Amino acid sequence: IHYTVLATEPFYTFAIPIKTEEYEPETGNGLSCRLEFTYTAKYPDESLLISITEQENFEDGDEKLKAHLIEQMNENLGMVMVFTLVSTAQEWLNVQWDKIKLKREENAALKLKEEEEAERKRFEGTRVTVESFLNWKEMFDEEMGYTKRKELTDREGKKLTGRELFMTDKTLDQSDLKFLDDGNFFLYNYLTFILKDTDVMLCNFNQIGDAVKVDESLFQNLDDLDLDDDEDDPDYDPNISDDSA
């Protein structure tokens, strides 16, 4: 026990500081105080004089602690009791600090619950409908400037019609004209008509850029194809169409 002698006359007076294990003056945690004892002429057959100073974080003052120590002195008259009184005071501080911590935790939990309840009521206070949401969105867009920006974007980015595109871009017809000028368009339709009933793929049109190229190697063996004329068929009747058959 660390103590400090405060006086020696007429009797010894000394001070002993005590605190809880969690005491931290910077954070406000824990309890602490200083016990001051003064001997009397008939000590230990009579009680010591006790005072409590430098209390830290005491919620109800030091009256309860002092009353508790006086009760302990009366139970220990006739015996050296300073060590017993210091131990009793230390235990009392620990018990009181546990009660204070529990009370703080309960208050914090209650405050959090009240805040959550208030937040829940705030969201439930007004039911959102389609109409109210659309009204809110319109005002929100107006405040954020979305409406004006959208109108400006619509005017600047309006899509042109086909005629407008043609009139503004004269190159749009070049690919079609080139396709027709090269004769590929007529060749393609002729071959499709002549060979539509065969299982042989005769042409492979690969589009490269704006032009269409024909694989000429596919037409080398056209003379070897056996394309029968309908008139050579003994059952052929020109008056009967394929659809009626």
The rounded distance, in Å, linking the Cα atoms of 58 and 188 is 103
Task: Decide the pairing of beta strands 49-56 and 32-38.
Answer: antiparallel
CA dihedral 17, 20, 23, 29 (to 10 degrees): -130
| Domains defined for the chain, CATH in brackets | 4-120 (3.10.110.10), 128-168 (no CATH)
Residue type present at position 34 = R
The whole-angstrom separation of Cα 67 and Cα 60 is 13
Is the pTM above the cut of 0.75?
A: no
Q: In this predicted structure, what is the pLDDT of residue 14?
A: 94
Q: Between helices 146-156 and 130-144, what is the axis angle to 10°? A: 70
**Which residues of the chain have a pLDDT value below 50?**
172, 179-180, 182, 184-188, 190-191, 193-212, 244-245
Calpha distance 35→89 (Å, rounded): 9
pLDDT of amino acid 203: 42
Q: List the one residue out of 15, 106, 22, 107 whose CA is nearest residue 57.
A: 22
Question: What is the pLDDT at residue 189?
Answer: 52
- Helix (H) and strand (E) counts for the chain? 7, 6
Whether 93 and 60 have beta carbons less than 8 Å apart is answered as no
Tokens representing 115? 């805040």
Residue 141: per-residue pLDDT: 76
Residue (of 50, 71, 60) closest to 96 by Cα position: 60
